[in-house]
């Protein structure tokens, strides 16, 4: 039994300001993973058209996500940083996956239901097909590991279903090409062209919650700016938002179990832990028994210590868009070579003449 070569892939949409959830749920993990892995990080600009077609500041948004990747510490020379629209193979594989995925599978996607809202008839076809493009983003590189926040879990399960169905449906075509690999899915041996992607969702803050309501996800679309810390917030804004964050009247518990039923406390402890690269248990062993009047100032200091250098570097990078564009062009050229290799193999497996 062989294994697919480990390869990390993830993407971030260029819509709205990045916030602490994007940073802790995704970008901070991207940085850690690059130490021991081959990584591809993508600004998924084509996804940005699904909910809203016309964006006044599309180019600025693409550059700003790229700047965040670089400022957080991603090395675009050792790894690949690029924007999706410069690698048309994503869209090409997505079309094939549109023909693999079943409508019943797409109908289960909770994010589509949330984003389409009540007037589903008016949602774009792109919003509906979004998870199929997301599967193509990953599988056009035959990537194996995908660091994301908890909200993307269902989309990654769909990517596995699409990969599995492709592998099964084309089994007899994959075997003669010699391009498949014998893997195990559970106990089942499967001859696979596409790997079963592993989501990397662990860590103390897989789902960062709103600072105003610990039961709601921190999100760019929340009308209250006090609900989130934006990566471009200055130190005063960070301090103010944490000071005003909702809490309960009790002291922090000494054990993780004591956070049950206390969503705001759980969220702030998770944020502290993720920023400090510690577990929640370690944070509570330090702060258990303390009031929020002690914990919040410590969290403010830590958040500023971690985020301020990133914000400063992002601002510096944004002053030189030519440099950012050059990074994206170089990354896209390298990504295209890899993606085209997969597409040639997929064309051969399907039987397209080339
Ligand atoms: P997007 O752009 O909405 O978010 C980017 C990343 O941030 C994570 N995230 C969070 N993590 C923790 N707590 C939160 N409150 C929070 N909010 C957002 C998201 O889980 C994500 O990891 N569909 C994806 C983009 C995408 C993609 C891909 C990801 C397109 N193709 C292929 C991985 C692989 C999205 O809309 O993420």
Query: Quick one: pLDDT at residue 159?
Result: 98
Which class does domain 225-317 fall in?
mainly alpha
Which among 20, 22, 84, 206 is the best mutation to test ligand 1's pocket, defined by most ligand atoms within 8 Å of the CB? 22
Identify the CATH homologous superfamily for domain 8-204+320-350: HUPs (3.40.50.620)
How high does pLDDT run on average in the chain?
Answer: 97
Query: Quick one: pLDDT at residue 214?
Result: 97
Question: Where is average pLDDT lowest: 139-148, 185-194, 243-252, 299-308?
Answer: 185-194
Of the pLDDT bands very low, low, confident and very high (cuts 50, 70, 90), residue 17 is confident
Of the pLDDT bands very low, low, confident and very high (cuts 50, 70, 90), residue 44 is very high
- Closest atom, ligand 1, to C-alpha of 15: 2
The string of pLDDT tens digits covering residues 259-290 is 999 999 999 999 999 999 999 999 999 999 99
User: Which residue's CA is the closest to the ligand 1 atom numbered 33?
Assistant: 10
- Closest atom, ligand 1, to C-alpha of 218: 15
The string of pLDDT tens digits covering residues 222-266 is 999 999 999 999 999 999 999 999 999 999 999 999 999 999 999
Question: Where is average pLDDT lowest: 34-43, 111-120, 123-132?
Answer: 111-120
Distance 23 CA to ligand 1 centre (A): 10
- Structural domain boundaries in the chain: 8-204+320-350, 225-317
* Ligand 1, pocket residues at CB < 6 Å: 9-13, 21-22, 25-26, 44, 47, 134, 137-138, 146, 148-149, 151-152, 155, 207-208, 217-218
The string of pLDDT tens digits covering residues 167-211 is 999 999 999 999 999 999 888 899 999 999 999 999 999 999 999
Of the pLDDT bands very low, low, confident and very high (cuts 50, 70, 90), residue 19 is very high
Query: Quick one: pLDDT at residue 14?
Result: 97
User: Which residue's CA is the closest to the ligand 1 atom numbered 34?
Assistant: 10
Distance 337 CA to ligand 1 centre (A): 25
CB 299 within 8 Å of CB 272: yes
Residue found under tokens 């944004």: 318
Distance 288 CA to ligand 1 centre (A): 32
Of the pLDDT bands very low, low, confident and very high (cuts 50, 70, 90), residue 1 is low
Of the pLDDT bands very low, low, confident and very high (cuts 50, 70, 90), residue 16 is confident
Provide the CB-side half-sphere exposure for 351 (13 A, CA): 5
User: Which residue's CA is the closest to the ligand 1 atom numbered 20?
Assistant: 149
């Amino acid at each position: 039994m062989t294994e697919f070569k480990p390869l990390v892939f993830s993407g971030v949409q260029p819509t709205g300001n990045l916030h602490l959830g994007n940073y802790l749920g995704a970008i901070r993990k991207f940085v850690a993973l690059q130490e021991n892995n081959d990584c591809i990080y993508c600004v998924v600009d084509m996804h940005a058209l699904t909910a809203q077609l016309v964006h006044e500041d599309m180019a600025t948004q693409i550059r700003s996500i790229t700047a965040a990747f670089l400022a957080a510490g991603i090395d675009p020379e050792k790894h690949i940083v690029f924007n999706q629209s410069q690698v048309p193979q994503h869209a090409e594989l997505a079309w094939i996956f549109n023909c693999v995925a079943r409508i019943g599978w797409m109908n289960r996607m909770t994010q589509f239901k949330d984003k389409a809202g009540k007037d589903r008839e008016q949602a774009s076809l792109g919003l509906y097909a979004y998870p199929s493009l997301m599967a193509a983003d990953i599988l056009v590189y035959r990537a194996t590991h995908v660091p994301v926040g908890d909200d993307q879990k269902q989309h990654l399960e769909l990517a596995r279903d699409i990969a599995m169905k492709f592998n099964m449906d084309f089994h007899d075509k994959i075997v003669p090409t010699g391009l498949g690999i014998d893997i195990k899915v559970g106990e089942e041996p499967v001859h696979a062209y596409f790997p079963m992607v592993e989501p990397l969702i662990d860590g103390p803050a897989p789902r960062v919650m709103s600072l105003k309501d610990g039961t709601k996800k921190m999100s760019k679309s929340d009308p209250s700016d006090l609900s989130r810390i934006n990566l471009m917030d200055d130190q005063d804004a960070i301090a103010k938002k944490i000071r005003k964050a909702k809490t309960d009247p009790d002291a922090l518990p000494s054990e993780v179990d004591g956070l049950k039923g206390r969503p705001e406390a759980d969220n702030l402890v998770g944020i502290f832990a993720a920023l400090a690269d510690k577990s929640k248990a370690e944070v509570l062993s330090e702060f258990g028994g303390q009031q929020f009047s002690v914990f919040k100032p410590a969290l403010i200091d830590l958040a500023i210590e971690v985020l301020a250098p990133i914000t400063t570097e992002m601002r510096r990078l944004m002053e030189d868009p030519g440099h950012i564009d050059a990074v994206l062009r170089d990354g896209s050229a390298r990504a295209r070579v890899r993606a085209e290799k997969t597409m040639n193999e997929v064309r051969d497996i399907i039987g397209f003449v080339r």
